[in-house]
Amino acid sequence: MVAVLLFFALIAALPAEAAGAKSAPLKIVAFGDSLTSGHRLPSKDAYPSVLQGKLKAAGLPVAVVNHGVSGDTTTRALRRLDDALAEHPQIMIVELGVNDGLRGVPVPVVKANLEKIITAAQAQKIEVVLCAMEALPLQGWQYTIAFHQMYEDLAATYGVTLVPFLMNGVLGNPDLISDDGVHPNAAGARFIAETVFEYIFPIASTVAKDAATTPDTR
């Protein structure tokens, strides 16, 4: 009799466990450099934290994990990619390249590194959102043009969503930029979060809906 009761108790528990799995928060990894880490900002003011708040306010149960490291190039970021992928996110926001551009790293090298990041994520069925960066004409205009085109080419080749130049509207705006003239202040980070939100909300909504009806087999 005890065994029979235990059996039915286990069966009754299954739907609740399944429902709990379905309501698990969507996970997004923000993978980038100082623009992602929030240079000299409290973690709550960095754009990934602000983005998380905006997505939650829009009704999405989401956790945005900040994997930004100040000063990172695409080569350095590759060395810690496995740690980011180990988070098992459904979406990865890739914001990298500006430090390569400042150092004059050849565009084919930067592109190859970004390709490795994108394809590694896609191999794990992770939706990738790529944030475009720009290179100052320190290495000549041809380098700047090739650097700009690189992001568009990657987005087209791998079918990923491309966010236009992330610092557009922030650079040169004294209300949004910090005293160093390079990094966003808290208001600038909120501006960036708003920009990213417009691109990521439709994706996150679709992924969350699919996750609610499809078991995660990754």
Task: Kindly state whether residue 190 falls inside one of the protein's structural domains.
Answer: yes
Q: Which of 147, 87, 76 has its CA nearest to residue 117?
A: 76
Instruction: Show pLDDT as tens, one digit a residue, over the chain (218 residues).
Output: 444 333 333 333 333 333 333 445 799 999 999 999 999 999 999 999 999 999 999 999 999 999 999 999 999 999 999 999 999 999 999 999 999 999 999 999 999 999 999 999 999 999 999 999 999 899 999 999 999 999 999 999 999 999 999 999 999 999 999 998 899 999 999 999 999 999 999 999 999 888 766 655 55
Task: Kindly state whether residue 15 falls inside one of the protein's structural domains.
Answer: no
DSSP type of residue 88: -
Q: In this structure, is the dihedral angle defined by the CA atoms of residues 45, 47, 49 and 54, taken in order, positive or negative? A: positive
49, 175, 180, 216: which is the annotated catalytic residue? 180
DSSP lists the bridge partners of residue 65 as: 29
- Is residue 153 flagged as an active site residue? no
Task: Kindly state whether residue 13 falls inside one of the protein's structural domains.
Answer: no
Task: Kindly state whether residue 5 falls inside one of the protein's structural domains.
Answer: no
Task: Kindly state whether residue 6 falls inside one of the protein's structural domains.
Answer: no
**pLDDT tens digit string along 141-183?**
999 999 999 999 999 999 999 999 999 999 999 999 999 889 9
**pLDDT tens digit string along 186-200?**
999 999 999 999 999
Task: Kindly state whether residue 14 falls inside one of the protein's structural domains.
Answer: no
User: How many whole angstroms separate alpha carbon 85 and alpha carbon 92?
Assistant: 9
Q: What is the CATH number of the domain that holds 47?
A: 3.40.50.1110
Length of the chain (residues): 218
Report the chain's terminal Cα–Cα distance, integer Å: 39
The strands making up 62-68's β-sheet, listed across from edge to edge, are 62-68, 26-32, 91-95, 127-131, 161-163
**pLDDT tens digit string along 163-172?**
999 999 999 9
Please count the structural domains in the chain: 1
User: How many whole angstroms separate alpha carbon 196 and alpha carbon 208?
Assistant: 17
82, 83, 183, 210: which is the annotated catalytic residue? 183
User: Could you count the other beta carbons within 10 Å of the beta carbon of residue 165?
Assistant: 16
Domain that holds residue 110: 27-211
User: Could you count the other beta carbons within 10 Å of the beta carbon of residue 21?
Assistant: 12
Q: What would the two tokens of residue 212 be?
A: 């609610």
User: How many whole angstroms separate alpha carbon 188 and alpha carbon 209?
Assistant: 31
Q: Is 158 helix (H, G, I), strand (E, B) or coil?
A: helix
Are 43 and 49 a contacting pair, CB within 8 Å? yes
Task: Kindly state whether residue 21 falls inside one of the protein's structural domains.
Answer: no
- Is residue 180 flagged as an active site residue? yes
pTM here is 0.86
Task: Kindly state whether residue 4 falls inside one of the protein's structural domains.
Answer: no
- Amino acid sitting at position 46: A
34, 39, 45, 49: which is the annotated catalytic residue? 34
- Is residue 49 flagged as an active site residue? no
Q: Which single residue is written with the structure tokens 């650097």? A: 147
User: Could you count the other beta carbons within 10 Å of the beta carbon of residue 167?
Assistant: 23
